[in-house]
Structure 1
Amino acid sequence: MTLPFFVYGTLRPGEPNHDAFLRGRTGAEEPARLTGAVLYDGPGYPYAVPEPGGVVRGDLVTALPDAYEALLTTLDELEEYVPGDPRSLYERAVCEVTRETDGTAVRAWVYFAAPPVAASLRTRGTRITNGDWRTRGGERHPGYAEG
């Protein structure tokens, strides 16, 4: 299944991992939003966690056709996602995201925090309340402690 990627952190245009992993491999990049999820600071990189009513701001990135398979493999490795591996930090899922430019809905790959990571973030993490990792309007959970 060939789908664009919804990126919301270090893979966004202008961020360090965009230059390292996406530059020259994409045909389109456009602002988008994902509803039904919230962001937490890793710290250093964000995690999207499913949550009704939340909104995550990011970009819809469409890979060049000849770069798609290699890019999918590269992003899975970067996000430490291995299907079925309980040690994965993220899980990749197909979700509907909305283009900011025209409001159209598009199915895309999204990397979410794996369930154990999400559970930890919900109890101890720093939620990015504005849903935009670039501006990081964050709020620490009362039980959060620097590790």
Structure 2
Amino acid sequence: MTVERLRLPFFVYGTLRPGRENHDLYLRGRTAEERPALLRGAVMYEGPGWPYAVAEPGGEIHGELITPATEHYDALLVALDRLEDYAPGDPANIYERVAREVILGDGEATGAWVYLAAEPVARRLRASGTLVPGGDWVSC
């Protein structure tokens, strides 16, 4: 099975987190479980109204692991890809959806889809972006 065909939960760190506008629009009533989680090996930058996660050794981002309800998985995958301007292999992507390991509150590690800034965006952010202190956009 290719990585694109995996039915992983989603690690969310910005507007899709509980209590934020896109959580209500996209996820409310469509999830089986939502748990606090930590993504290691990435840092967060401010964006125009939303954050960007950028791969960076030693960094950490706080967020939630969202497990879609089985009957909503396929529709949510399409909707979230559209929200994040992601299409597999498109060089114009703003984000790339990648499989990464996240750490749950009890220390358990699990795989999840994460939307990381596409490399051209990540380069710009590394050069002149504003880091989110502590890797937690909700607490800023």
Q: Same fold (TM over 0.5)?
A: yes
CA drift at 1:53: 0.2
Equivalent residue for 2:8? 3
- How many residue pairs get aligned? The number is 135
2:113 to 109, 112, 123: 109
Q: Deviations over 1:18-55 (max 9, x none)?
A: 00000011010010000000000112100000000000
Equivalent residue for 1:81? 86
- Structure 1 length-normalised TM: 0.90
3-state SS of 2:79 partner:
helix
Equivalent residue for 1:120? 124
Structure 1 unpaired stretches of 5+: 137-147
Q: Deviations over 1:93-138 (max 9, x none)?
A: 00000001x11001000000000000000111111121000122xx
Q: Deviations over 1:60-114 (max 9, x none)?
A: 00000010001000000000001111111000000000001x1100100000000
3-state SS of 1:77 partner:
helix
Q: Give the distance between the partners of 2:118 and 2:79, measured in 1 at CA.
A: 18
3-state SS of 2:102 partner:
strand
Question: For the pair shown, which has the larger CA radius of gyration, 1 or 2?
Answer: 1
Higher helix share: 2
3-state SS of 2:135 partner:
coil
Name the amino acid aligned to 2:123: A
Name the amino acid aligned to 1:112: L
Q: Are 2:120 and 1:134 equivalent residues in the alignment?
A: no
Identical counterparts, % of pairs: 59
Equivalent residue for 1:62? 67
Structure 2 unpaired stretches of 5+: 1-5
Equivalent residue for 1:37? 42
- Structure 2 length-normalised TM: 0.95
